[in-house]
């Protein structure tokens, strides 16, 4: 499965370029604009894919060389990473074609795979194992962005298929925000404040806030404030989790005679 990681990483930017060139139909921005929601982010936010693809390529090459080829943790991560990359690649032409139900299954599948990678690597870091930063940072960043993007995609599916009122989106959008907050805060807690994961999430939440602040849809301002509040909550959670982890490491490194009265 390790051998599949590198071609899967190469496929993502290649298919993204073809998608933006219109090879599969309208580009993603055009399709997204047809189904406005209260969870959509400002267009600039999607530039993060360039960084994600670049770092994923670096990880894919790094994990296939030297001692990394024999590392047990990287061996466990590789199948999940390859699957996440392939699902990320598949989502782009599917979205251009308007196959939204399939897109939804694919993006949540990709999210699950990359979140699994981030969890495995964060556990290794917390345990004080090998320095696997070239795997942890790229896959955590990818996982953070996808976790938020999956809920943005879900909102567009609801609007595209008119599953809930498109002219009165705030009630059900608030429900989506609550679900997204539960997943994002839960994953970050399990990873004890994953900075790469959080950076991607905050980037997306700020972009949602920027877009919704000037959106014409009813309830957009409220959605912008929800996004801002969630960003603050995740940032504060991360600070507290990392401070707690630091304190535990400090206590663990002190001799027993120096602890207590």
Rounded to an integer, the average pLDDT of 133-143 is 97
Residue 204 has pLDDT above 60, yes or no: yes
- Residue 259 or 74, more confident: 74
Which uninterrupted H or E stretch holds 54?
helix 48-63
Whether 253 is in a domain gets the answer: no
To the nearest 10°, report the CA torsion of 238, 240, 245, 251: 170
Q: Is residue 166 part of a domain?
A: yes
213 pLDDT above the threshold of 60: yes
Q: What is the pLDDT of residue 258?
A: 43
Does residue 259 sit within a domain? no
Reported as a pLDDT band with limits 50, 70 and 90, residue 257 is very low
Rg (CA), the chain: 20
Measured distance CA(191)–CA(93) in Å, rounded: 32
Mean pLDDT of 85-92: 97
- Please, are residues 188 and 197 in contact by the beta-carbon 8 Å criterion? yes
Instruction: Note whether 248 and 195 are within 8 A (CB).
Output: no
pLDDT band at 259 (very low <50, low <70, confident <90, very high): very low
Q: What is the mean pLDDT of the chain?
A: 92
Q: What is the DSSP letter of 1?
A: -
Average pLDDT over residues 184-199: 97
pLDDT band at 254 (very low <50, low <70, confident <90, very high): low
pLDDT at 216: 87
Res 51: pLDDT: 97
Treating both helix axes as pointing N-terminal to C-terminal, what angle do 133-160 and 48-63 enclose, rounded to 10 degrees? 140
Q: Under a CB-based contact definition with an 8 Å cutoff, are residues 120 and 76 in contact? A: yes
Query: Does residue 252 fall inside a structural domain?
Result: no
Is pLDDT above 60 for 252?
no
Total domain count, the chain: 1
Decide: 62 and 131 in contact? Cβ < 8 Å.
no
Mean pLDDT of 149-157: 96
Q: Quote the domain boundaries for residue 68.
A: 2-245
- Residue 261 confidence (pLDDT): 35
What is the structure's pLDDT at 4?
94
Band (100; pLDDT cuts 50, 70, 90): very high
Considering the domain boundaries, does residue 250 fall inside one? no
Assign 260 a pLDDT band (cuts: 50, 70, 90): very low
* Angle subtended at Cα 33 by Cα 50 and Cα 54, rounded to the nearest 5 degrees: 5
Identify the burial level of 113 via C-beta atoms within 10 angstroms of its C-beta, where 0-12 means exposed, 13-18 middle and 19 or more buried. buried
């Amino acid at each position: 499965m390790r051998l599949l990681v590198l071609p899967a990483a190469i496929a993502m930017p290649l298919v993204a370029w073809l998608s933006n060139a219109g090879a599969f139909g309208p580009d993603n921005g055009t399709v997204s604009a047809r189904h406005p929601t209260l969870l959509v982010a400002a267009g600039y936010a999607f530039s993060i894919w360039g960084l994600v693809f670049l770092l994923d390529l670096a990880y894919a090459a790094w994990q296939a060389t030297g001692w990394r080829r024999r590392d047990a943790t990287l061996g466990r991560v590789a199948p999940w990473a390859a699957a996440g990359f392939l699902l990320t690649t598949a989502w782009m032409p599917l979205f251009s074609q308007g196959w939204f139900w399939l897109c939804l299954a694919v993006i949540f599948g990709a999210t699950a795979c990359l979140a699994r990678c981030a969890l495995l690597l964060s556990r290794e870091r917390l345990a004080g194992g090998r320095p696997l930063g070239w795997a942890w940072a790229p896959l955590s960043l990818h996982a953070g962005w996808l976790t938020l993007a999956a809920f943005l995609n879900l909102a567009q599916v609801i609007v595209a298929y008119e599953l809930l009122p498109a002219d009165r989106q705030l009630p059900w959008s608030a429900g989506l925000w609550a679900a997204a907050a539960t997943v994002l805060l839960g994953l970050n807690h399990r990873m004890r404040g994953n900075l790469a994961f959080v950076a991607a999430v905050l980037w997306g939440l700020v972009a949602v806030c920027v877009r919704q602040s000037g959106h014409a849809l009813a309830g957009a301002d409220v959605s912008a404030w929800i996004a801002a509040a969630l960003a603050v909550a995740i940032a504060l959670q991360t600070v507290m989790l990392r401070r707690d982890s630091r304190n535990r490491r400090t206590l663990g490194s002190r001799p027993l005679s120096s602890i207590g009265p």
